[in-house]
Amino acid sequence: MTERRKHLRRFSKDINFMIGLALVGLVVFTATLSLFYTPYDPNRMEISARLQGPSSSHWFGTDHYGRDILSRVMRGAVNSITVGFIAVGIGMSLGVLLGALAGYWGGWLDEATMRVMDVIYGFPAVLTAILITSILGPGIKNSMIAIGIYNIPIFARLTRGNILSLKEQDYVLAARAVGQSNLKIIRKHILPNALSPLIVQATVSFAVAILAEAGLSYLGLGTQPPHPSWGRMLNEAQPFIHLSAWPAIFPGLAIAIAVLGFNLLGDGLRDILDPKLAHLR
């Protein structure tokens, strides 16, 4: 059996990975599809059809403005995926950079960077986001920045830890002995080997980003109306739950499916890439 096939077999045999992949695939597919097709315009109001239950014309029912919930849930997926990508992107790029510098050079740079990282890390995501949006103002862009900042110390700590152990490996010492520059050593030899845990963390952070964005939008600090966001939809549905529960059910289910998908994918990747931990699961 070739190496490639062996790898594929390991991935396909991991149940967490496969379920996670299917759920994430569903969310990504829905988001992509919604860019070209939704049953109705997600923002189109039809007061005469307000707060209807699921039916053949509105599969997920309608909200208090008569907007089609399925269409809004579909478009909301775009929102969640975008926030996830950008927030994790900000956290990962800055975190890896800071962690790599701190871990490789050590000394006061390491001390100073990691103390500041510790302080940010101690702040729960929502609190960081609240602090930042209170200054920059509510909105999707600022909530992405806020969630991104929250992610920086997570990636910085992970990268630093990996680099501290990798920089003493023989192949790194050999690269240094032949006179390669520090930046080249980090880029060519260290980062590629530190990649697996970063990929796992990015997947888990994606789930946290989706949850944080939903929370911020629920509070009115994230995506602003009328754009559909799962958290915002739940906020708007709550005053009407005694009349119709459906607008408060489907967006929540969508969040749960997306987060569950990314969490399972992360768990699966960790099992596959770090088999030492498998016995604890």
Exposure pattern of 92-123 as b/e (b: 16+ CB <10 Å)?
bebbbebbbbbbbeeeeebeebbeebeeebee
Does the protein bind other proteins through residue 132 (CB under 8 A)?
yes
CA distance 217 to 234: 9
User: How many residues bind to other proteins according to rule CB under 8 A?
Assistant: 45
The structure tokens listed for 197 are 């845990």
Which residues between 68 and 97 bind other proteins (CB under 8 A)?
A: none
Closer of 156 and 221 to other proteins (Cβ): 221
Question: What is the crossing angle of helices 69-105 and 15-36, to 10°?
Answer: 120
Output 47 or 280, the one with its CB closest to other proteins.
280
Which long-range contacts (C-beta less than 8 Å, at least 24 apart) are formed by 7-16?
Answer: 10/272, 11/268, 11/272, 14/268, 14/271, 14/272, 15/268, 16/264, 16/265, 16/267, 16/268, 16/271
With respect to other proteins, which residue has the nearer C-beta, 35 or 119?
Answer: 119
Residue 22 contacts other proteins per CB under 8 A: no
CB 211, min distance to other proteins, A: 5
Q: Least distance in Å: CB of 63 to other proteins?
A: 14
Task: Report which DSSP code applies to 62.
Answer: B
Q: Which amino acid is at 39?
A: P
- 124 lines the binding site for other proteins (CB under 8 A): yes
Contact 27, 261 (CB under 8 A): yes
Candidates 3-11, 27-35, 82-90, 251-259 — which segment interacts with other proteins by CB under 8 A? 251-259
Q: Which stretch binds other proteins (CB under 8 A): 71-79, 85-93, 153-161, 248-256?
A: 248-256
CB of 71 to other proteins, least distance (A): 20
d(CA 68, CA 22): 25
Q: Where are the beta strands (DSSP E) in the chain?
A: none
* Residue from 45, 130, 191, 273 binding other proteins (CB under 8 A): 130
Q: Which of residues 171-230 bind other proteins (CB under 8 A)?
A: 207, 211, 214-215, 218-221
User: Residue numbers of the site for other proteins (CB under 8 A)?
Assistant: 115-116, 118-120, 122-127, 130-136, 207, 211, 214-215, 218-221, 231, 234, 237-238, 241-242, 245, 248, 252, 255-257, 259-260, 263-264, 279-281
